[in-house]
Amino acid sequence: MGYSSSSEARYDEPTIAIRQFSSGRSHILALSDSGRIWSWYHAKKPSLQVKFANVDIRELTLKHSNTHSSKFGQVKRVVAGWGRSSAYVQGMGIVVWDPVERDARDGINETDTMLVLDNAEIPKTGYRRLKGIYSESSDDSALGAEVGSVSNYIILEQYVVFVTDIGKAFCGRFGDKNKVDRILELRQLRNDTGTALDVQGSFHSFAIFRNKEVILSDQDYLEACWTTQQTDPEQKDVRGLLRIPALQHNNVISVAFGDYHYLALHSNGKITSYGMELQGCGALGLGHDGVAGAQARGVVFDRFNHNGRLLPHSYTYGREVWFDTRKQEWLEHITQGGADPEESKQRRELYTNDHHVQGEVSEWVEQESRALDQGDGEDGLGAYFALGVSAAGWHSGALVLVNEDLASEPMHTCTSSHFPRLKLSDGTEMPGQRCFDEWREGRPEWQFDGQV
């Protein structure tokens, strides 16, 4: 809830430097360099500056020093949830409010500022760890030991999840008017080393980054922890934490979640894709229904609703999203039979009808595709390097750096131009007359337990 503040309308700076954005279901929040909060609720409407009746936001000026005392009231971060807005305010904690919109009656003289009357603060999130000569009260010291200082947080549809600098993760369930009465530690996500965790997520899903692990979960897990606080306080019997083998100790920088799929960005500029895409929409980035290439990447499409899902084999080492059309051309060539379509006919029929064979062939394709990159550039970055990844609903997106000189060169040609003939992990030999193909990176050791 908010109302327009006419005295602040028509902010007269010609440009505003923004240092952070966050997108929700139908609104966007931004934080300016000066510490002001801005909100967009319509693609064709200008933004609104957000102010609060009950929270004293302190903007940055040239007169502010870098002392800890001067940071009180400054906005550190904004997070747009599914249907909520939030900000982390130094010394106060996580503040939550409903997205703001202009009154339809504003007409031509639209205001650019909204004053929020109703907001809620997440309990025990306001602790700041002071350094130097500053001392803290016994209550603050106890809060620092129990909870710690918030290092990051997300707003899901029904829960807030935050992590702290002492390696703990917490959640809180939203009630009326965005109020959270209490928080609950997620005990099985605690980092025993005591170092900070990270959290990323949206809508129903989230990821916890712990050391070099990436642990996935969702609101169902949070709800189970919430409802068993008395009977299972350590949450040892609560199911719902997922460790995808391809994401563990594999230099994952970020994970972006859609409704049914998710994408991981790795430090080498590669994106790997997981989950399911509805109606063959292409959200996995591995090809569309009806395209042979998607099958060779490990995607199975339902014949009735055309939903595409990744086979379990794809979760051991991951499936990279390709931006290089040269790879697509190579894959199309071999899936159509390669240099000898008649010789590979039986193998292609076997791989089309047997999902286990399809999974193993898709892993061979993945290894071969990485060999295609080996000739791209002295720095090893390749022709395409992803800087960021995003997902929402049935959509995916990425910010990709393209080396146009490398992208226009002929691709490294060390890979096979035949449809593969493999000795499968169960001992089966794929039919054909040509020699068996080798695994460039060694025969995979599949890890199927708890992957999907």
Q: Let me know whether 338 and 265 are in one domain.
A: yes
Q: Let me know whether 146 and 81 are in one domain.
A: no
Long-range CB pairs of 291-297, under 8 A, 24+ apart, other chains included: 292/332, 292/335, 292/336, 293/328, 293/331, 293/332, 293/335, 295/335, 295/351, 295/352, 295/358, 295/362, 296/331, 296/334, 296/335, 296/358, 296/361, 296/362, 296/365, 297/331, 297/362, 297/365, 297/366
Mind listing the pLDDT tens digit for each residue in 331-380? 999 999 988 999 999 999 999 999 999 999 999 999 999 888 765 556 66
Instruction: Please give the structure tokens belonging to residue 139.
Output: 């209550």
Q: Has residue 443 been placed in a domain? A: no
* Domain enclosing residue 98, as ranges: 1-121
Q: Has residue 92 been placed in a domain? A: yes
Q: What is the pLDDT of residue 3?
A: 55
Q: Let me know whether 227 and 264 are in one domain.
A: no
Q: Has residue 199 been placed in a domain? A: yes
Q: Let me know whether 271 and 399 are in one domain.
A: yes
> What is the chain's mean pLDDT, rounded?
89
Q: Let me know whether 114 and 204 are in one domain.
A: no
Q: Has residue 420 been placed in a domain? A: no
What single letter denotes the amino acid at residue 360?
E
Q: For 139-143, 204-208, 326-330, 447-451, which range has the lowest pLDDT when averaged over its residues? A: 447-451
Q: Let me know whether 51 and 73 are in one domain.
A: yes
Q: Let me know whether 218 and 278 are in one domain.
A: no
Q: What is the pLDDT of residue 291?
A: 66
Mind listing the pLDDT tens digit for each residue in 154-184? 999 999 999 999 999 999 999 999 999 999 9
82 contacts 157 by C-beta, under 8 angstroms: yes
Alpha-helical segments (H) within 136-237:
138-146, 219-227
Across the range 434-440, mean pLDDT stands at 94
Q: Let me know whether 13 and 98 are in one domain.
A: yes
Q: Has residue 439 been placed in a domain? A: no
Domain count for the chain, please give it: 3
Strand, coil or helix: 357: helix
Q: What is the pLDDT of residue 191?
A: 96
Q: What is the pLDDT of residue 13?
A: 47
260 contacts 276 by C-beta, under 8 angstroms: yes
